[in-house]
Amino acid sequence: MSDYIPSPRQWVADQVELYEESGGTAGLTLRDTGLPVIIVTHRGRKTGAVRKTPLMRVVDGDNYILVASQGGMPKNPLWYYNLQADPDVEIRDKEEVYAMRVREVVDAAERERLWEIAVEAFPPYQEYQGRTERVIPILVAEPVA
C-alpha cells in the first residue's frame, strides 16, 4: 500500500491527524459547527497514494451517505473521482473503523430520500445545491460483507 499523503488544505490535514492520533476521541466535528464528521480513507486515482478526507457524518442504518458538495463549487471534489476509480474505502467513525464499498446513487427516489437525510444532518447542503448548476452527487458507503 502506498504512503499516506495529507491534504494540501492545512485545516483538513490537521483535523485528520487529530482525529486519528486521538484514536477517534478528538477532532470529531467540522471546525466550529459542532457537527460530527467521519474520516474516509481512500486511494488517489492518479497517485495511488492513500488519501484521508473528513466528511459530514450522515448515516442511513449501517450505511454512510457521502455528499460531494464541495460547498457548492462548480466542480465535484477530487475525492469523488477517487471513489469512482476505487470504491473500496475505510470509514473511521469516532473509535470504530469500517471496510466499506461506495456506490453513486442514481435512482431518483433513493437520491431524494438520502438527500433529505443529508440536509437534516447538515442543513448547508441545501444552500450549496443552490450555489451550483451541477447536481451534487450522493454516494452511499455500504459495509463489505
Q: What is the pLDDT of residues 27-73, one digit of tens each?
A: 999 877 889 999 999 999 999 999 999 999 999 999 999 999 999 99
Residue at 57 is within a domain: yes
pLDDT at 21 over 90: yes
pLDDT at 120 over 50: yes
> Quick one: pLDDT at residue 2?
61
Quote the percentage of the chain above a pLDDT of 90: 92
Residue 2 belongs to some domain of the structure: no
Q: Which helix (H) or strand (E) holds 113?
A: helix 108-121
Percent of the chain exceeding pLDDT 70 equals: 99
Question: Among 1-5, 23-27, 75-79, where is mean pLDDT lowest?
Answer: 1-5
Distance, in Å, from the CA atom of 70 to the CA atom of 79, rounded to the nearest integer, reads 10
Closest to 29 (Cα-Cα) out of 39, 43, 21, 40: 39
Give the single-character DSSP code of 23.
Answer: T
Residue 1 maps to a domain: no
Residue count of the chain, please give it. Answer: 145
4 lies in a domain? no
Does the structure show a pLDDT above 70 at 111?
A: yes
Please state the separation of Cα 23 from the chain's center in Å: 19
User: Containing domain of residue 127, as a range?
Assistant: 10-143
d(CA 60, CA 67) in angstroms, rounded, equals 13
CATH number reported for the structural domain that contains residue 57 in this entry: 2.30.110.10
In the chain, the amino acid numbered 70 is Q
Question: 1 pLDDT exceeds 60?
Answer: no
Domain count for the chain: 1
**DSSP calls for 39-104:** EEEEE-TTT--EEEEEEE--EETTEEEEE--GGG-SS--HHHHHHHH--EEEEEETTEEEEEEEEE
